[in-house]
Amino acid sequence: MENNKISVGLDIGTTKIVAMIGRKNDYGKVEILGIGKSKSLGVHRGVVNNITQTIQSIQQAVQEAEAESGYKIEGVTVGIAGQHIRSLQHSDYITRTNSDKVIDDDDIDMLINQVHKLVMLPGEEIIHVLPQEYKVDGQAEIKEPIGMYGGRLEANFHVVVGQVSSIRNIGRCVKSSGLELEGITLEPLASANAVLSQEEKEAGVALIDIGGGTTDLAVFKDGIIRHTAVIPFGGNVITEDIKEGCSIIEKQAELLKIKFGSAWPGENKDNEIVSIPGLRGREPKEITLKNLSKIIHARVVEIIEQVYVEIKNYGHEEQKKKLIAGIVLTGGGAQLKHLKQLVEYITGMDTRIGYPNEHLAGDSDEDVASPLYATAVGLVMDGLKRQERRRIEEEVVEEVVEEPEVEPTPAEDIVEEEQPQEPPRKERKSFLDKLTERVKDFLDNAE
């Protein structure tokens, strides 16, 4: 039974793969039981490009997490990101046949399924359909139409689209690593759940998750996700630039970036120098910190500017859509010195570094609460939510099944009474769950 209560997040990143095991404690907070991480070799810009290497990395991370926690990992919740993810706005409507009945889940499902029929580019698939707000018979700005009367139900949707092959490849890697695919989640959403508070989502906030290969963006306003984007640059391009600019090897460039790197070149004196051992008997190289931060600065500015374009695309400059809580930076790239100041300077928005401790138990390791693990923590939370939903669904099914056996006659009433409480639970079966099932079916049939 114990194993049911734990959830495992698997963050398949460009630089690292993290397996994280967690469970809910008595206070409803998430307690992390074990972490395993391995160097990610088969992933480029968030997309798997070498299945064999990715499988090895996943197994290594999973074994490490198992060893640390003492649990056996069976199923995982996986995040997807990558440069193939794009999002669009779409509105759709249905005309209800029977307007004497109140709007229920079936109507919303019908509306959502209609969005799923949108014609995409070849090879693309809809990953998320997120309702923004509804209109009933032309009355706008309805957050929750269930229980209302009306003939025409319409909604604006935020639709997230990705490449089928990339998603299937991730499913493939998970399955071949001997794991069960329990759920798929969009990484920017997972990070947002781990890092942002409800108040920030209400006020309006942009979460920027700077990973190794990609930078993910999620924009929230009025508690609803409004915009998502994946920008195909991350910490790795900064390292690349240092490597090229200073003619040193990648390992040294990475270390330089982490130890001495700064996003703000103004503050280094001209005479601050780092000496790097030469390769195999060559002279050591001397690099000025000023040069180093100039290189980093140029690249970071480029990344932030691209993200800012996306924030403006969402409409941040309109009064009604203003992001009052500004920007939250997370991901490994958020640890760069002076990044917060630079982002504030470029965008003019309030900025903070986001640590995934919003929902973690108080006694969690310092390590876990690092921005590096935001996505993994979010995936664990997502897995726990999924389990909760499943438990509730099972309970509802049992209740409905048990009752009629006692008194066959009022069975009608009992089922009727069950109805009002059940819908919100059913409605939360997200498209991702459906997508997960589709990927699973595909993999099972493809074997």
Q: With contact defined as beta carbons under 8 Å apart, do 232 and 213 qualify?
A: yes
> Tell me, what's the pLDDT at 436?
83
- The boundaries of the domain holding residue 255 are 235-299
Residue 127 has pLDDT above 80, yes or no: yes
Please state, in angstroms and as integers, the Cα–Cα distance from residue 240 to each residue in 122, 233, 288, following that order.
33, 11, 17
Q: Say how far residue 319 (Cα) sits from the centre of its chain.
A: 27
In a domain, 278, yes or no: yes
Number of domains in the chain: 1
SS3 label, residue 350: coil
pLDDT in tens, 296-345: 999 999 999 999 999 999 988 899 999 999 999 999 999 999 999 999 99
Nearest-angstrom CA–CA distance, 331 and 375: 8
Asked, for residue 403, whether it belongs to a domain, the answer is no
Pairing of strands 16-24, 6-12: antiparallel
Is residue 278 classed exposed, middle or buried when 0-12, 13-18 and 19+ CB atoms within 10 A define those classes?
Answer: exposed
Q: Residue 192: inside a domain, yes or no? A: no
* Side-by-side strand order, sheet with 16-24: 30-39, 16-24, 6-12, 75-80, 180-186
Q: State pLDDT tens for residues 70-91.
A: 999 999 999 988 888 888 889 9
CA angle 313, 315, 321 (to 5 degrees): 155
**Cα separation, 241 vs 278, whole angstroms:** 19
**3-state secondary structure (DSSP) of residue 295:** helix
pLDDT score recorded for residue 262: 93
Per-residue pLDDT tens digits for 210-224? 999 999 999 999 998
In a domain, 427, yes or no: no
Strand pairing category for 351-353 and 30-39: unpaired
The C-alpha atoms of residue 130 and residue 432 are separated, in whole angstroms, by 11
pLDDT digits (tens, 9 = 90+) for 252-261: 999 999 999 9
Amino acid 417: pLDDT: 41
Residue 63 confidence (pLDDT) above 90: yes
| Tens digit of each residue's pLDDT (9 = 90 or more) over 351-365 | 999 999 888 988 888
Question: Does position 378 have pLDDT exceeding 90, yes or no?
Answer: yes
Joined together, the tokens standing for residue 233 give 């640059």
358: left (phi over 0), alpha (psi -120 to 50) or beta: alpha
Nearest-angstrom CA–CA distance, 325 and 201: 8
Over residues 151-170, the pLDDT tens digits come to 999 999 999 999 999 999 99
Report the relative pairing of strands 30-39 and 124-136 from DSSP bridges.
unpaired
H-run or E-run covering 294: helix 289-314
Is residue 246 in a domain? yes
| pLDDT at residue 392, as a whole number | 86
> What is the C-alpha to C-alpha distance for residues 155 and 114, in angstroms, rounded to an integer?
11
Q: Is the pLDDT of residue 420 over 50?
A: no
In a domain, 254, yes or no: yes
For the chain, give the percent of residues with pLDDT over 90.
Answer: 64
3 state SS of 379: helix
Q: Within a domain: residue 255?
A: yes
Would you say residue 249 lies in a domain?
yes
Q: What is the CATH number of the domain that holds 285?
A: 3.30.420.40
- Could you tell me what percent of the chain has a pLDDT over 70? 92
